[in-house]
Amino acid sequence: MSPSAVQITLVRHGQTQENLMHILQGQMPGRLTEEGISQARQLGATLPSGYYDCILCSDLQRALDTAFILNEKLQIDLIPMPILRERDFGIYTGQPYGIKLSPDEPTLESIDSMKKRAMQFFHDVQIHYPGKKVLVVSHGLFLRGLQSVYWHKDIKEIFPMRNAETRTIVLEDTL
């Protein structure tokens, strides 16, 4: 790992009531269930104190709540970032999983647009956090978008993360 590389541990937020209802949350705030709170606490207990430099997280409530729980132990800077929000499902927000999404719907954020946000996030992290270890708390589909960009794969090739699951990637000087 080069001295300017950034180690990023990706974290999906804990389970939400909306997850249990099988609806597209998109940019809704989301409400952690008791299980989601427990998942975040269990994950937090496994994270090493003094290892991470900061937490970057989506500014949506479900991610913030998860990050705050993780930070009870870590006690590091926690920085909400709108760029880490889940895909904006527009008019489909709150609809059941499996609903047919029209790619022509103007309120629906395209996968390409979401992946551009992911690329911008990586660019910003490389500029502002060189040589750091960063915990990133975000959302299922957006985390797949980040990994899709990182691994240069189609988003469908990235296996979904479970609630409170982590995956680690290292950003070298260039992607």
Whole-angstrom Cα distance, residue 135 to residue 166? 9
52/54 Cα distance (integer angstroms): 6
Give dist(CA 10, CA 169) in Å, integer: 8
The pairing of strands 77-80 and 6-12 is: unpaired
Could you give the CA distance from residue 95 to residue 89 in angstroms, rounded to a whole number? 9
Instruction: Return the amino acid letter for 92.
Output: Y
Q: Which of 18, 35, 86, 157 is catalytic?
A: 86
Task: Write out the two tokens for 63.
Answer: 């991610």
Tokens describing residue 116 = 């551009």
Listed in sequence order, the residues at least 6 apart from 48 whose beta carbon sits closer than 8 Å to its beta carbon are none
Catalytic entry in 13, 18, 109, 139: 13
Active site residue 18: no
Only one residue has tokens 């980040």, namely 146
Active site residue 13: yes
Tokens 């904006």 belong to: 88
Catalytic center residues: 13, 86
